[in-house]
Structure 1
Amino acid sequence: MEAVEKISSGSNLKNQLSKPASLGINIFFIIYSLLCIVPLVLIVMVSISDEGAVIRDGYQFIPSKFDFAAYQFLFKDATQIFRSYSISIFVTIIGTTLSLIIMALYAYPISRTDFPHAKFFTFFVFFTMLFSGGLVPWYLVYAQVLDLKDTLLALIMPLLVAAFFVLIIRTFFQTTIPAAVLESAKIDGAGELTIFVKIVLPLSLPVLATVALFQTLTYWNDWFLSLVFITKDANITVQYLMYKTMLNIQFLANNSTAAAAINAAGGTFKFPSETVRMAMVVVGIGPIIFAYPFFQKYFVKGLTVGAVKG
């Protein structure tokens, strides 16, 4: 026992990094983290800066003059913003959940060596990564064949399945989940659905969390589906609302006739074009930031998968 302890302690010492190496790695990740955080801080600071000060002095981390005119401009129609927020949150949650279920259900059979048509269905999903029917047939299927125009399903269905993520989940199933575990469950009388729900899914939380995070970002950041399929403002997402607002600001700022008409009707009007861009970024990324801490524990768990062998 003492010899085993000495050997294990010796191996642990060998695996430890030296102090200079550990310090270097820590400094690297501190700098990398700052490079990720500093731009966000700058965006927030610019969004609460005075428009004139931004044009005169440029972007500053400490504004020479604070002004919330950009947020006042955006929230003049607060009802529409909150409704678009609710649409985006609903579409993101439902879309990500359904997407994860469908892709996992597709990936599991093609990961099994005893499934006779695994190669065919793997090639079938891979083929969609290389070729597509084109934009017009894609639109006609959803708008006319399925009649999903101006519905929330039009914001969910086109993004449900990503072939790349299906192949990633399939590869994880093949390389991480031991076949002996599945065979043992079969011997004990478990059916395929029971094996999938109670064994495969709990062991696959790291890859499922990764795919879920990317799908969450995809659904939250999407504005193109609202542009193509939605004509009623009641069903547009917050990203498309910000896109429309930006186009309106650019039009009014570049059209002297329209700006003169607004000024003549309601007095002097200032367009916070620079600061409002930053305010829209803050409004758009706000809720999605909370998704990262939720998925973080599964990423950490994924790093330890396979590290301990019995």
Structure 2
Amino acid sequence: MTSKTAYQTGLEKFNRTNKAINLLFNLIFILLALLCVIPVIVVLSISFSSEESIRETGYHLLPVAMSAEAYVYIIKQGTMILRALGVSALVTVVGTVLGVLLTASMGYVLSRPNYKLRGFLTWVVFIPMVFNGGLVSSYFINTNLLGLKDSIWALILPLAVSSFNVIICKTFFKSTIPDGLIESAEIDGASQLRIFFSIIMPISLPVIATIGLFLCFAYWNDWFQSMLYIDNQNLYSLQALLNSLMSNVDALAKNAASMGVSYAMLVATMPKESARMAVAILIVLPVAFAYPFFQKYFISGLTVGAVKG
């Protein structure tokens, strides 16, 4: 009886400790979630605030004086915004599809134990993770050698393949795809391309979704390639446009002024700060809506690719 009471007492203490630890972790995760969500709420609040209230009282979690003038102004500049949005969407879709195909195919080849150049090419993939060729050499190759200056491919090709993504794919294929499955397909006469597209890709959705999500975020949020390689404003992405707004508050005004609008009048009436935040909201929304659909595959693919060796 005494031992049973002691056991029950110990179990109750363990349960209380466990509940306290769970509560602590829940509070930590709630705090981290708030740290992620509050900045977005502040940006949304600023985008719906009037310029006068921003100048007088600064930033607030909730708008001091509600105004939709930033979004009205963006609608008036619809041609430029839609063109930049189209460039971003095109680059993201084409770059993600191309990047997934290149990354998955390279990772699959490097995961095959009977491939003779596997060791050498693994080092070729791994070394750029530690040593980078540098910005000058990359710029020279992309502009002078490949001729990508002021080309839509300058926004796609430099980000299509990364060593990190290739290693994730290689680890996933090596630890998940049984050799017997591939050998049986080879015995049936299937070519390597047929094996890759008909067998490997359909059963590798977790890692494909993970790499696709990485690439999608990288392309959608990229502005640096536009800054390096794009001089033609018709090829500006939405992110490059936002970066131009951040560095030059009159970027939209100058563009509109070139179309015959009075520059002085436009500068006086343009919602500068709120317009920046409104464009930022336009950039964030597609990613925020798309992420929940990929979350399941993203977590499982990243866990397998990163933990198993």
* TM-score interval for Structure 1 and Structure 2 normalised by the shorter chain: 0.7 to 0.9
**Kept after mapping to 2: 8 A contact 1:109/1:118:** yes
Q: Which residue of 2 aligns with 1:46?
A: 46
| Within-5 A mapping of 1:85-234 | 85-234=85-234
**Kept after mapping to 1: 8 A contact 2:210/2:301:** no
C-alpha separation in 1, matches of 2:159 and 2:267: 44
**Kept after mapping to 2: 8 A contact 1:263/1:269:** no
Q: Secondary structure at the match of 2:231?
A: coil
Tell me how many residue pairs correspond in the alignment. 282
- Shift in Å at residue 303 of structure 1? 8.7
Q: 1:195 to 1:59 in 2, by over 3 A?
A: same
| Within-5 A mapping of 1:15-30 | 29-30=29-30
Deviations 1:236-284, CA, capped at 9 Å, x for gaps: 11111112223331799xxxxxxxxx99953981554433332231122
Which one-letter code corresponds to 1:90 in the other structure? L
Deviations 1:222-247, CA, capped at 9 Å, x for gaps: 11211222221111111111122233
Q: 1:242 to 1:304 in 2, by over 3 A?
A: closer
Q: Which residue of 1 aligns with 2:295?
A: 296
Matched, 1:275 2:274: yes
Which one-letter code corresponds to 2:234 in the other structure? A
What's the TM-score once normalised by structure 1's chain length?
0.79
Q: 1:148 to 1:70 in 2, by over 3 A?
A: same
Which one-letter code corresponds to 1:243 in the other structure? N
Q: 1:58 to 1:265 in 2, by over 3 A?
A: closer
What's the TM-score once normalised by structure 2's chain length?
0.79
Q: 1:303 to 1:27 in 2, by over 3 A?
A: farther
Identity %: 41
Query: Which shifted more, 162-171 or 53-62?
Result: 53-62
Deviations 1:4-39, CA, capped at 9 Å, x for gaps: xxxxxxxxxxxxxx7776666656545543432232
C-alpha separation in 2, matches of 1:91 and 1:251: 22
Q: 1:150 to 1:303 in 2, by over 3 A?
A: closer
Q: 1:240 to 1:24 in 2, by over 3 A?
A: same
Which one-letter code corresponds to 1:286 in the other structure? L
C-alpha separation in 2, matches of 1:229 and 1:268: 29
C-alpha separation in 2, matches of 1:137 and 1:174: 34
- Shift in Å at residue 126 of structure 1? 1.3
Gaps of 5+ in 1: 1-17, 253-261, 306-310
Q: Secondary structure at the match of 2:248?
A: helix
C-alpha separation in 1, matches of 2:193 and 2:64: 62
Q: 1:271 to 1:81 in 2, by over 3 A?
A: closer
C-alpha separation in 1, matches of 2:127 and 2:113: 21
Deviations 1:29-50, CA, capped at 9 Å, x for gaps: 4554343223212211121012
Matched, 1:249 2:249: yes
| Within-5 A mapping of 1:3-18 | none
C-alpha separation in 2, matches of 1:139 and 1:31: 42
Query: Which shifted more, 112-121 or 34-43?
Result: 34-43
Q: 1:22 to 1:168 in 2, by over 3 A?
A: same
- Shift in Å at residue 142 of structure 1? 1.8
Which one-letter code corresponds to 1:130 in the other structure? V
Gaps of 5+ in 2: 1-17, 253-260, 305-309
